[in-house]
Chains A and B, each alone.
Chain A
Amino acid sequence: MRPRVFLVDDHQLFRSGVRAELGDGVEIVGEADEVAAAIELIRERVPDVVLVDVHMPDGGGQAVIEAVGSTNPDVRFLALSVSDAAEDVIGVIRAGARGYVTKTISGPELTDAICRVAEGDAVFSPRLAGFVLDAFASDPQAAGGAAPSFDPEIDQLTPREREVLRFIARGYAYKEVARELSISVKTVESHVSAVLRKLQLTSRHQLTHWATERRLL
């Protein structure tokens, strides 16, 4: 099954570049260069995956994800960005994106990431893994001490999740992580999805604060 993909990016050159790189691996059902048009067209065409640029005028990818997510919860989002600014990345993930990759990603890797998102899994670039490790710092006092509604279930990473994220941050692909840890790729995916869910659900107020502080990484 070829996933139906919708492109949202305010740079024409980048959209055509992505189209060319994705080739036949996916079916591109439309594209938009601004937030309002994107929301309308996505609701109309209901793609499997929306590739959305983090940085755009009028709210960027986050606005698109929030607006579409409220009406079409089945549409999945993969965020693309050149910025790598932690607050932007954390922002789109918390808005509901299933993953985040940088625009330097190669064509086959992007196709792979889109298929993964279409199947409901999470896609972590090394950079995103680093952000998450940083945000969920291992210091339990700093992590939970000040948070009023601290929930260890979602406010902390398990040692295994941390281990998986470290491998991803080191540049390992999912299947390489699976081999290193002697687990299946599916298990790696479920760990990563759990981390994504924690990232989206966690009430740790430090997360926003941390992301803002890391504006200049």
Chain B
Amino acid sequence: MLGGVAGGLSARLGIDAVVIRAVFVLLIAGGGTGFAVYVLAWLLVPREGEGSSIARRVVADRRAVSTALAVGSVLAVVLIVVSALGLNFAAGLIWPVSLGMAGLVFVWHGAQDDEKVLLQELVGQRPIAEMGKGGRLLVLRVVVGGILVIGGLVALIAAGHATVGAVRAILAASIVLLGFLVVFGPWWLRLARELIVERRERVRAEERADMAAHIHDSVLQTLALIQRSSGDPGEVRRLARVQERELRAWLFEDRPPGAFDDETVATLGEGVSAIAALVEERHHVDVEVVVVGDCPLDDDLRALLAAGKEAVVNAAKFSGAPVVSVFAEVEDPRVTLFVRDRGVGFDPSQVADDRRGIAESIRARLARHGGTAEIRSTIGQGTEVELTLPRGKATR
């Protein structure tokens, strides 16, 4: 072909060059306007392997572009008026010629390097040029697409007065469509791509924020604690072990540490184990767990677990025993949870009423869910808490 315009468009738009050539041929055959379009594109589209082509230099000059746009819009108005007057021949003649003129303006601007620099300094912000970093290509696209649209519109209007109107109308409609595609197609594509990229980045940012929050809550806190207790090797070791366990659970088991009432704990057995791990970490005692049978958790069983946790924490804090035994048994009619220590023991009747642990967290909580709590303790021999919850039909 003449100027490699079709090939260039093909490379830029990703459309087969043959298709573009066929469009040009149709344009030319459709009313001679395709020739002008081709010439203009020839001027505008940068030639391959030639970074400083006329087109590129010209397009870099926003003033020239706006000039061309002004020319184009004026031409459009003129042509539409002319066409409306029924002067088809005028339309066919005037608009390729005018566009050729606009192209010459471009060439002139592009050729004058000194003037280009000067003009660039004078250039104000243009709406089209503001639309992004792909501004040059956008302008190019708008020009080409705008010409196509105008050409198509003109042809469409002209078709109303022509004898071969039907063919022309179809052609013109296609051209209008193509024009819009050229103008907006890449923009739409880019928009869609940007949306995807943006969403991915947002997800990544959220993940990063989550991780930062987690590391702050766990690792950084632990490091601070280790610094504060650097004089106590045992405590340092304990802190390190606790942190390691938490981190492992988080990294490899995808489970937030110690959250037994969290959704991640699905069964009674898991819940009891989570409580044991939590108390071992926090209170430096061994918690021996035996679970017989298992069942999925419901609200009642979560209450039982919460009460059980309170009992284990109490044993760890107050009994002085190095080991706390937890035994959970799931039977058909009931679930039973025993928490036993061989510590100092206490007299349950002497416990002050304001000790909320036993009264509220264990007894009342369980009672609200239809369960019972029995606490047996002998001073000097230890304590056992027995929690019983009848199983509802739902959990059987």
By a beta-carbon cutoff of 8 Å, the part of chain A in contact with chain B is: 104, 126-127, 129-130, 133-134, 137-139, 166, 169-172, 217
Contacts and interface: CB of A to CB of B under 8 A. Distances in A.
Contacts of B293: 134, 137
B267 to A, nearest CB: 11
A104 B286 contact: yes
A169 B286 contact: no
A127 B286 contact: no
B198 interface: no
B246 interface: no
Q: Across the A-B interface, give the 9 residue pairs with the lowest CB-CB distance, nearest first.
A: A171-B325, A130-B290, A170-B327, A169-B290, A133-B292, A170-B338, A171-B340, A169-B327, A134-B292
A104 B338 CA distance: 21
19 contacts: A126-B288, A126-B327, A127-B290, A130-B290, A130-B291, A130-B292, A134-B293, A166-B327, A169-B290, A169-B292, A169-B327, A170-B290, A170-B325, A170-B384, A171-B288, A171-B323, A171-B327, A171-B338, A171-B340
A139 B290 contact: no
A170 B286 contact: no
B325 A133 contact: no
Interface of B: 269, 286, 288, 290-293, 323, 325, 327, 329, 331-332, 338, 340, 342, 384
A107 to B, nearest CB: 13
B378 to A, nearest CB: 11
B333 to A, nearest CB: 11
B6 to A, nearest CB: 67
A126 B329 contact: no
Contacts of B332: 139
B380 to A, nearest CB: 14
Nearest to A132: B292
Contacts of A166: 327, 329
B331 A130 contact: no
Nearest to A133: B292
Contacts of A134: 292-293
B371 to A, nearest CB: 18
Contacts of B342: 171
Contact of B325 (A104, A126, A217): A126
Contact of A126 (B269, B290, B384): B290
Given A170-B384, A217-B269, A133 B288 contact: no
Contacts of A133: 292, 329
A180 to B, nearest CB: 10
Residue among B293, B323, B327 with the highest chain A CB neighbour number at 10 A: B327
A36 to B, nearest CB: 34
Contacts of A104: 286
A217 B276 CA distance: 14
A129 B331 contact: no
A149 B329 CA distance: 28
Nearest to B269: A217
A126 B288 CA distance: 8
B231 to A, nearest CB: 28
Given A126-B290, A169-B327, A170-B327, 9 more contacts: A126-B288, A130-B292, A133-B292, A133-B329, A169-B329, A170-B325, A170-B384, A171-B323, A171-B338
A171 B293 CA distance: 17
Given A138-B331, A166-B327, A170-B384, A129 B286 contact: no
A72 B159 CA distance: 111
Residue among A104, A138, A139, A169 with the highest chain B CB neighbour number at 10 A: A169
A15 B325 CA distance: 27
Nearest to A214: B294
Contacts of A138: 331
B265 to A, nearest CB: 15
A127 B286 CA distance: 14
Contacts of A169: 290, 292, 327, 329
A139 to B, nearest CB: 7
A159 B291 CA distance: 19
A135 B47 CA distance: 82
Contacts of A172: 340
Contact of A129 (B290, B323, B340): B290
A139 B384 CA distance: 27
A127 B288 CA distance: 8
A169 B338 CA distance: 9
Contacts of A137: 293
Nearest to B336: A166
B319 to A, nearest CB: 12
A181 B329 CA distance: 20
A82 B35 CA distance: 87
Nearest to B381: A176
A127 B328 CA distance: 11
A126 B293 CA distance: 15
Contacts of A171: 288, 323, 325, 327, 338, 340, 342
Contacts of B288: 126-127, 171
Nearest to B386: A170
A129 B331 CA distance: 16
A92 to B, nearest CB: 18
Contacts of B325: 126, 170-171
A127 B292 CA distance: 10
A169 B328 CA distance: 9
A113 to B, nearest CB: 15
Contacts of A129: 290
B47 to A, nearest CB: 69
Residue among A129, A166, A170, A172 with the highest chain B CB neighbour number at 10 A: A170
A138 B269 CA distance: 18
